């Protein structure tokens, strides 16, 4: 009796382990944070493209929508999303803030010259430390801001669906 139960238990254990791992295969292994969290806009003081000091409190007004877009000229997906940002620029209800991440100033300028400048203000995050305050992962990344709160967060390049979603929110 005992010799029959033991292999059965062993098979059962292996089966359970198999099921757990098999199910685990389908899990996404890319971690995305909870994007529905409302977070206050972190304050910062950074240099702008025109070499002025810019304080975050002066940029973000309560009654307007802002899209803060982290970008860099060396980032390939940023080129892809650029046309959607240019499209969004046509909308008067939203202001675009460019957050130039660890970039070479010359390259950034020619990037905007080639593809157009959708941003109302551009600030420079030269060493990437300010982006950590935003809880950002890298480039490209965008934050939709209203009343000094981050209401939506887009990790990765903005696509057409995201654009439609933004336009729907700010309507």
Single residue of 128, 165, 167, 169 touching another protein by CB under 8 A: 128
Which residue stretch of 19-27, 57-65, 105-113, 137-145 sits at the interface with another protein (rule: CB under 8 A)? 137-145
Nearest to 94 by CA among 152, 140, 145, 30: 145
Is residue 138 near another protein by the rule CB under 8 A? yes
Nearest to 153 by CA among 72, 39, 31: 39
Nearer to another protein, 75 or 158 (CB): 75
CB of 32 to another protein, least distance (A): 10
Give me 141's structure tokens. Answer: 């990344």
Which residue stretch of 26-34, 50-58, 113-121, 158-166 sits at the interface with another protein (rule: CB under 8 A)? 26-34
Nearer to another protein, 115 or 155 (CB): 155
Give CA–CA dist 48/106, Å, rounded. 14
What's the CA angle centered on 102, arms 31 and 93, to 5 degrees?
75
The phi, psi pair for 107, rounded to 5°, reads -65, -40
Is residue 132 near another protein by the rule CB under 8 A? yes
In terms of DSSP bridges, do strands 94-101 and 65-71 run parallel, antiparallel, or are they unpaired? parallel
Single residue of 91, 135, 149, 167 touching another protein by CB under 8 A: 135
- List contacts with another protein (CB under 8 A): 29-31, 33-34, 101-102, 127-129, 131-135, 137-139
């Amino acid at each position: 009796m005992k010799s029959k139960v033991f292999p059965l238990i062993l098979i059962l254990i292996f089966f359970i382990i198999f099921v757990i791992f098999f199910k685990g295969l389908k899990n996404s292994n890319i971690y995305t944070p909870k994007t529905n969290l409302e977070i206050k806009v972190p304050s910062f003081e950074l240099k702008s493209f025109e070499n002025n000091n810019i304080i975050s409190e002066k940029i973000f007004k309560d009654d307007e929508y802002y899209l803060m877009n982290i970008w860099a000229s060396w980032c390939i997906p940023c080129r892809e999303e650029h046309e959607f940002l240019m499209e969004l620029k046509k909308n008067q209800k939203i202001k675009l803030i460019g957050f130039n991440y660890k970039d070479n100033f010359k390259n950034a300028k020619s990037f905007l010259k080639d593809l157009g400048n959708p941003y109302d203000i551009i600030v420079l995050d030269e060493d990437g430390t300010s982006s950590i305050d935003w809880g950002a992962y890298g480039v490209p990344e965008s934050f939709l801001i209203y009343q000094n709160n981050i209401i939506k967060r887009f990790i990765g390049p903005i696509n057409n669906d995201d654009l439609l979603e933004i336009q729907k929110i700010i309507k």
